[in-house]
Each structure stands twice: as C-alpha cells, then as structure tokens.
Amino acid sequence: METLKNLSWIYAAVLVLALAVSLIAILVYLWRIASSLGKARAALEVVRDETALLSEPLEELRDASGGAAEELSRARESLARADDRLEALLERLGVSLGR
C-alpha cells in the first residue's frame, strides 16, 4: 500500500512539473509576442509621424485632380459636339472620310 501511495505522489509531482513547464513555455511565447507587437507599434508610429506632413499636400492634389477631371470631362463633351457638327457639315457637303 505504501508503494501505491509513493507512486501516486511521484505521478502527481510529474504532472505538476509538466504543467509548470507548459505554463512557462506559454509565458515565454506570450513575452515574445508582446515584444513583437511593441516593435510593430513603434514602426507604425514612425510611419504615422513621417507621413503626417503629406496630409495637406495630398488633399490639395486630390482637390486639384477632381477639378482637372471635371475640366477634362467638359472638354471631351465639347470635342464630341464639335465632331458631330463637323460630321453633319461634311455630309451636307457630300464629303466622305471613309470611316
């Protein structure tokens, strides 16, 4: 009976030791993950700080390009109307461009 008791204690000690090793391994990995996340956060803060100065010029560029797009659209419409008028004029004159 004493042998069974001793084996039970040894078994319990091995289980506790295995659990402790597992928990320590988990702690090490969590520590590494936290370190990596800290480095990523620092890198993202650098990116944020370095690109903060671009905000205003990019907004101006966006606004300017929107205006240019509107002007180009109007120019395209105007050229399409001119093309239609020239085509009608050429028809009246009986000239064929072979399109």
Residue 51, pLDDT > 80, answer yes
Query: Are residue 46 and residue 85 in the same domain, yes or no?
Result: no
pLDDT surpasses 90 at 29: yes
Domain hosting residue 73, numbered range: 63-94
Let me know whether 1 and 42 are in one domain: yes
In a domain, 58, yes or no: no
Residues 35, 71: one domain? no
Considering the domain architecture, whether residues 45 and 69 belong to the same structural domain is answered as no
Measured CA distances, 95 to 31, 44, 78, 82, 83 (Å): 83, 66, 23, 17, 14
What average pLDDT does range 66-89 have in this prediction? 90
Which pTM value belongs to this model? 0.50
The stretch 78-84 carries a mean pLDDT of 93
